Structure 1
Amino acid sequence: MTKKITYLAILMVSLTYAQNNSEIAVKEAIDTFFEGFHKGDTVLMKTVMYGKFPSQTTFKDNNGNDQIHKGNVSDLLVTLASKKPDQKWQEKLLDYHIQVDGNLAHAWTPYEFWFNDQFSHCGVNSFQLFNDNGQWKIIYLVDSRRTDDCKPK
């Protein structure tokens, strides 16, 4: 009986350890994505992207109607590569809520967006990632954007 309990304890610890390692690796992929974003380095961003994946943004229009803009990450890369050198974009991630199931992961990251050191808006990023033979890659991104109910830090 003691052997069974020991075996179950070791199994549970190793499963928890593997889950934590995956969560850390997912966080690192997202951090690399934003490191490239802040530097304007689209090549670095592509190292954690799985090709040209879809992206969407949700927001309220000027009349208060819910909207969704559909695009793909290539639009973001083009915009980033062509931004003016005197523009500073900073997206501050406030937290990471990561779930992993095998080779699929989801990360929910609340954020604040700052433009030239001025608060612009807040929201949440929702990333889907795929473990591509040992490397987590982003396969989908949707974010929300709002200016109300934001508490800039």
Structure 2
Amino acid sequence: MINKIFTTMVALCATFVYMPAHAQSQAANLPAQSRAAEDSVKAAVNLLFTGMIQSDPTLIRQSFTDSAILQSIFEKDGTTVARLESVDDFARAISRMGKGDADERIRIDVLRIDGPLATVWAPYSFYYKGKLNHCGVDSFQMLLVNGVWKIQYLIDTRRKQPCQ
């Protein structure tokens, strides 16, 4: 009995040691993502910010899949909270602003693509009516839908300071 337990534990440990190494070697064998694919993901992300600065709810909605999820992370009473918002509510709120009022400036630090899935990590600064309002990081999960990249999941952090 003890011998069976020992053998099972050794097998499990070997599996956990082998799996990450195997996954890394598989990842190294993947073809490099194409510049065209990267550019199309960036264009899809930028469509959202074009819609924001133009106060255009149609462009904003076009940026997202039909089942998209939007969340913002912030601190409330010392606790980290993730607030959920619908795409329609977000688009409606932006559309009530004047053109140029909602100016979110991003820098894409990480962009990874695997088939129909892309991940984008983008620090940002949000300016409202020309004044820095807050900053943070946008994390996008993108989905290739009928040949067009769309935002499936967007979660962001928000803070007043420190902003650069």
The answer to whether the Cα contact below 8 Å between 2:112 and 2:118 also exists between their aligned partners in 1 is yes
> Pick from 105, 108, 114: which aligns with 1:92?
105
Greater C-alpha radius of gyration: 2
SS of residue paired to 2:160: coil
Identify if the C-alpha distance between structure 1 residues 103 and 124 changes in structure 2 by more than 3 Å, giving closer, same or farther: same
After superposition, residues 26-37 of structure 1 pair within 5 angstroms as: 26-37=41-52
Per the alignment, do residues 65 and 39 of structure 1 end up closer, same or farther by CA in structure 2, a change over 3 Å counting?
A: same
1:53 to 68, 87, 100: 68
TM-score scaled by length of structure 1:
0.79
SS at match of 1:150: coil
Q: Secondary structure at the match of 2:60?
A: helix
1:116 paired with 2:129, answer yes
Contact 1:104 1:128 survives alignment (8 Å): yes
Deviation at residue 32 of structure 1 after TM alignment: 1.1
Q: Deviations over 1:1-35 (max 9, x none)?
A: xxxxxxxxxxxxxx43x532211110010111110
Aligned residues: 134
How far residue 142 of structure 1 moved from its aligned partner, in angstroms, is: 0.7
CA contact (8 A) 1:27 1:96 kept: no
Q: 2:36 aligns with which of 4, 21, 26?
A: 21
Find 2:93's aligned residue among 57, 62, 79.
79
Amino acid at match of 2:102: W
State the secondary structure of the residue aligned to 1:32.
helix
- Cα distance in structure 2, aligned partners of 1:46 and 1:121: 23
Deviations 1:40-69 (A, max 9, x none): 1111223332114111100112x3322211
Structure 1: state its 5+ residue gaps: 1-14
**Cα distance in structure 1, aligned partners of 2:133 and 2:79:** 20
Q: Structure 2 CA distance, aligned partners of 1:64 and 1:125?
A: 22
CA RMSD of aligned residues (A): 1.8
Counterparts of 1:97 and 1:87 in 2: how far apart (Å)?
27
Q: Which segment drifts farther, 118-127 or 74-83?
A: 74-83
CA distance in 2, matches of 1:96, 1:51: 27
Question: 2:143 aligns to what?
Answer: 130
Q: What does residue 106 of structure 1 align with?
A: 119
